[in-house]
Amino acid sequence: DVKVTQSSRYLVKRTGEKVFLECVQDMDHENMFWYRQDPGLGLRLIYFSYDVKMKEKGDIPEGYSVSREKKERFSLILESASTNQTSMYLCASSKTTGQGSYEQYFGPGTRLTVT
């Protein structure tokens, strides 16, 4: 069964802390994505990666960075957390070729609160 897992369901951090959000997929997918979900704004793309060590900025990359050292793992890093980064963070993955390409599978999300 398709599975994307995220390290925490809920996280509370203080302003200025460095925050790591981890995402792991077990489907051998090439592509991985980080979105943030805010009420009334839908999901917005932060960063994505189409291969190990490759990354591309999405629509709202400011204040975030990412790391992809292994194919199955994609980390989102908040270098210095701020209150406007309080949000739900969703990780997704997809494969590049074959049946089912383009379709993204989502993790359960991490609800981050920055105080």
Partner 1 sequence: AQSVSQHNHHVILSEAASLELGCNYSYGGTVNLFWYVQYPGQHLQLLLKYFSGDPLVKGIKGFEAEFIKSKFSFNLRKPSVQWSDTAEYFCAVNANQAGTALIFGKGTTLSVSS
Determine, following the binding rule CB under 8 A, whether residue 30 of this chain makes contact with partner 1.
yes
DSSP string, 18-47: -EEEEEEESS--SEEEEEEEETTTEEEEEE
In the bound state with partner 1, the residue whose beta carbon lies nearer, of 42 and 69, is 42
Q: Which of residues 45-84 bind partner 1 (CB under 8 A)?
A: 45, 48, 50, 58
* Residue of 43, 52, 60, 77 that binds partner 1 (CB under 8 A): 43
* Residue of 94, 110, 112, 114 that binds partner 1 (CB under 8 A): 94
CA–CA separation, 64 and 52 (whole Å):
18
Determine, following the binding rule CB under 8 A, whether residue 42 of this chain makes contact with partner 1.
yes
CA–CA separation, 40 and 80 (whole Å):
25
From the DSSP assignment, how many helices (H) and strands (E) are in the chain?
A: 0, 11
Stretch that binds partner 1, among 13-21, 31-39, 67-75, 76-84 (CB under 8 A): 31-39
